[in-house]
Structure formats: structure tokens, C-alpha cells
Amino acid sequence: MTPRRTPSPPPTSPRRPLPPGHFLALPPSFSQSTASFPSGVPSTSSHVSNGLAPNVASLASADFEVDVRTGFLPGKNNIERLGGEWTVWEEALDAARGTAPGQGLRIGGGRQQDELWRQGIEMMPIVDTAGLCVSLPLLRRAHVVLVFLAHFYAHTTAPTPAPRNHPINIPPSISIPLLTISPLLGLPPVATYADTVLYNVLPLDPSRELSLPSNPPATCLASFTGTRSEEHFYVISAICEIAGAEALRLMRQSLDELFLADEVAIRRLTIYLRKLATQIDRIADITMTMLKEVDPEDFYHLIRPWFRGGDADGPESAGWIYQGLDEQAASSAENPVERAENKGRMFSGPSAGQSSLIHAIDIFLTVDHSPTPEEDETSLKLDHEPVTSPSATPSPSRSNEATFVQRMLQYMPLPHRTFLLHLSTHPTPLRQLVVHSAQSHPQLAEAYDTALEALKRFRERHFRIVSVFIVQQARRQPSLRVRRLLGTAGEDEEIEQQEEAESAVALGEIRGTGGTPLFKFLRRCRDNTTKAMIGKPVGPHFDLQ
């Protein structure tokens, strides 16, 4: 009979007791409709916490809204359309999108079609949201529809020279229900990655649940342009998420072995890390399919402008004002922002940085994105406002990637943020064991570096996509086809536009839709991944010139 394995402490030091309030030290949760998370924000999970903590028996616990089959994607199919009194929102969204690409609203508005739609939004009744609270999928769909309406309204406002010197007002018919339901999901009242990807896709066969490879994400429910490129941009991101479920499973198994930390555990950890590297490469391969399925010019000129949030012009942005609620009520619903005097709320738009998957892999492998002391001191000097409470978020003016990573956490659904917090406070970190065992178990250190090397490759491939979809497009004029869709070219300009040579434009400080200086952030994330390696890193860096 094989002797029973017993847990042994990490070899670096005796295991310390869990800190007070740690998830693992709290009683398990139980279902009660009035419960809330420790943060005070209502839980949207079916397994609520009664003010204590989520059930963390598994990293795939339903309390985290992480599904063993679909990862951070909902385990049940998203609702396709709201009915009843909320139909008016769906009809407004239908009118904004139009029946075909190019027939919907345009960035900057100005046409009769755009103005009539805006007037309809301003006259639309404020619909009660109480009936949505009976269903998490209903709340998710409502948030998707309302944030799309908010972005349509914000970006059909008459254009002004950037940066805009006055805030954009979001009408009460959108802002009041949006600010009411956003805290229930732990999301801000702006379009996020969750709205465009997690809560916005359906599988190939909507009558069956999502799965890879038999029933993958295939269509999106809401879009700004109705283009094939926009749909594939969301769908490919969703396929990456469902592929990430296997990575989360490997991480959970690894953490189980870390509690044992014996010879068998080290052998298993080595296997799991090698498999994790393979899975990260798989996610990167899926990401690269965007080069084939998404038109870069469409993305940059037609799709990306709709993503812009109130902070899109950087620290000098004017922001958005959500009309209809007093300042105190608005502030309590808008957790992830700082507000400058005489400005609106400085929310960021949807960004890949809001995906919890890569954050989870970073935390598991202990890729440190915290700034150096010199960077931290510089960033504090650049802040317009101090961070006065643990729940406050640094303003977008901070010039280091750690601030951006921390800020993007606030744009994830609350259960996913809770998952990442639990993962980051795990009492037996992987890296601690790997470093201590590097000499006695070199295969473990090699497998750990292999996973980091895969993560670095993922970041380099992401860098390549950004180069193609943003940098190259920013350096050239849009084609006549795109100018026509944007309403900026006439028939008589055809010959002139066809003969116009590609012209380099001053790129300046290109910002991502998350509001951060884009390329500095991407480079630093890649370099931080390399720094985490135990052995000497190999292979050249891909860089953007």
C-alpha cells in the first residue's frame, strides 16, 4: 500500500499562521440573499458570503464567478435581449447600431440621424431597475446595453479640439439606471472588457453551453459598428478566456501541491508548470488569429474610437458627468475613479488589461509590476490628487505600469477582483519554493522559467498586434473606404485619396483605451516577466521601432 502523503512546510522557513482576516482563515460561506462582500458591495454570486468571505475550497469556486469549464467567462450563456419595461433600452441600442455597417451612428455625430437619436435618449423615461435584481444574467445584459448607450451618446457629441475643455453629460435616462446596477456587479458605469467580451458573446450553438472545442464563442451580442472585425475582436478575446480555463486548473493543482511541498509535490509541480507554458502559448496562438480575422484599419479608425472613456485624453481630460444623481450618490457608485475640480468622472474605456486571466498568471508566477522607489517617487509627484483611502484609485497621470495594473483591477467584476486578491495572498507562494529548490531540483526551476518564457512570448506577440493595429495605422491616412464610412470623404475626393501616399504622423504619446501611455507599459510588462526568471533568460526581445 502506498503510504499516505502528509503536508510538509515550504523548505525556506516554517509555515507561518495565516494573517487575520485572510480568506482561508474565515468560515466558509453559505447562501443568504442579504449577504455582501467584506468590501460592502453586494455580492452577485449564488454563493454569497454573509459578510465573511467567499468559499475558497477551490480557485474555481462559484463565489469567484470562475467556472471550471469556461474560466472567467460565465458558465451559463449570456442573455441575448432584455424584455418587458427594459425593451426601450434594447430598441435604442438597435437604432444606434443600424441594420448594417455604416448605417448606424457616427463618431462626432452632426447628422440628422444622430441628433434624432440623441433627442430620443434625452426624452427616454428613467426605467426602474428593481426587477433586474432577480437575475445575475439580467443585470449583466442591462449593464452591457446601458454602457453601449452611454458610449454612443458620449461619442456622438459634437467634436472639439483635444483635449476637450468641458465634460460630456450622460443623460439621466442612461446614468440613473446604470449607476444603480453597476455596484451590484462591482463594475464602473462605463464599457469594460467584461461588457464587450465576457458578457457579450454566444457560442456557435446557443442552445448548448460554451465549451472548447465543440461549442466555442462565435457571435457577439452588442457592437458599435456592426462590422465583422468588431465581432471577431470580441469573439477571439472570448476564446482566449475559455482556453484560459485550463491554465486556471493547472494553477489550482499547483497550489494544492504547494501545501504539501514534498518530493512528489515538486515532481508534479514541474509537470504542471510545463503544461502551463503550453497553455500560455496556446492562448498566444489564439490571440494572433486577430491578424487574420480583424482588419487593422477598421479597428483603429472605426471601432477603437468608440471605446474611449472620460480619461482618453490623458490627465487633461474633461471626463463624463452622469446626470440625475447628486454628487454623493454618484461617488459611491463610481469607485474606480478620481475626480478633478470642474471635471467629470475619469473612467477608462475597455482594455485587454482588464482581463483577469493574464493578471492571474502574473500573480501565480510572481511577475512583479511594482515600481522602483525612483519611479514611485516620480509618479507621486505627478499625481493631481492624493489617494486618501484603500478603495481610492490613483489618477491616470501616474507614469508607471504598476499603477495601470492596479487601476485595471477596478474595471473587473468584483468576484474576479476577489479571486485575484485571494491568489495574491496565498500563504505558500510558488516562487518561494522554486528559488529555494533551484539547486536541489533544477528541473523545477527550469519548468518555472519555461512558463515565464511562454508568458514573455505572449507579451511579445501582443506587442506585435499593437504595432499592426495601432502604430502602423496611426502613421498613415485612412483609406477612402474608411473615410466614407466615417463621413469624411466625398465622391470627388476619390482620385486624390487614392494617390495620397502613406504619410507618417507624429505619434506623440499614444495612449491605450485604458488611458495609459501604451508602449512604455507593454515594454515594461515584458521586461518584468524576463526579470522574474530564475535562470539566465534566452532568446532575443521583440521590440517596437
How far apart, in Å, are the Cα atoms of 241 and each of 199, 287, 319, 412? 12, 10, 31, 14
d(CA 282, CA 190): 31
Is there a single domain that holds both residue 360 and residue 283? yes
Same domain, 340 and 369: no
Residues 520 and 425 in one domain: yes
286 and 404 inside one domain = yes
277 and 187 in a common domain = no
Same-domain pairing of 272 and 412: yes
Same structural domain, 358 and 475: yes
Residue 462 marked as a ligand binder: yes
For residue 322, the SS3 value is strand
pLDDT of residue 471: 87
Residues 405 and 513 in one domain: yes
**CA atoms in the 13 A half-sphere facing the CB of 531:** 12
> How many CB atoms lie under 10 A from the CB of residue 314?
16
Residue 117 domain flag: yes
Assigned domain for 90 exists: yes
Q: Do 284 and 112 contact (CB within 8 A), yes or no? A: no
Q: Which residues pair with 170 in a beta bridge?
A: 322
Phi/psi of residue 97, each to 5°? -75, -30
Q: The CATH number of the domain where 357 resides is what?
A: 1.20.58.480
pLDDT per position as a tens digit, 14-51: 344 434 443 333 333 323 232 322 223 333 333 333 33
Q: Is there a contact between 234 and 226 (Cβ–Cβ < 8 Å)?
A: no
C-alpha cell at 387: 489617494
Tell me the residue range of the domain where 177 lies.
Answer: 79-199+310-347
**One domain, residues 165 and 291:** no
Higher pLDDT, 437 or 400: 437
Task: Answer yes or no: is 56 within a domain.
Answer: no
- How many domains are contained in the chain? 2
Answer yes or no: do 343 and 463 share one domain: no
Q: 290 in a domain, yes or no?
A: yes
Amino acid at 228: R
Does a structural domain hold residue 125? yes
Residue 77: pLDDT band with limits 50, 70, 90 = very high
Angle at 127 between CA 126 and CA 129, to 5 degrees: 130
Q: Are residues 410 and 435 in the same domain?
A: yes
Q: Identify whether residues 453 and 359 lie together within a single domain.
A: yes
pLDDT confidence bin for 252, thresholds 50/70/90: very high
φ, ψ dihedrals at 352, nearest 5°: -60, -25
156-200 pLDDT per residue, tens: 998 877 767 789 999 999 999 999 999 999 999 999 999 999 999
How far apart, in Å, are the Cα atoms of 435 and each of 66, 247, 365, 398, 444? Answer: 30, 22, 12, 32, 9
Give 389 or 352, the one with higher predicted confidence.
352
Cell of 132: 433586474
Residue 164 domain-assigned?
yes
Q: What is the mean pLDDT of residues 227-237?
A: 97
Angle, vertex CA 69, rays to CA 68 and CA 73, nearest 5:
95
- By mean pLDDT, which of 113-122, 222-231, 496-505 is the weakest? 496-505
Integer CA distances (angstroms), 2 to 6, 253, 256, 262, 412, in order: 12, 21, 19, 15, 45
**What's the CA gap between 406 and 313, in Å, rounded?**
20
Q: What is the pLDDT of residues 309-351, one digit of tens each?
A: 988 877 788 899 999 874 444 445 444 444 545 678 989 999 9
SS3 category, 67: strand
Distance CA 336, CA 349 (A): 12
Phi-psi region of 302 (alpha: psi -120 to 50; beta: other; left: phi over 0): alpha
In a domain, 226, yes or no: no
Nearest of 213, 94, 82, 209 to residue 152 by alpha carbon: 94
For residue 211, which phi and psi values (nearest 5 degrees)?
-165, 155
Quick check: is 208 in a domain? no
Burial class (CB in 10 A: 0-12, 13-18, 19+), 378: middle
Query: In the predicted model, is pLDDT for residue 146 greater than 90?
Result: yes
* Separation CA 215–CA 141 (nearest Å): 21
Q: What pLDDT sits at residue 33?
A: 30
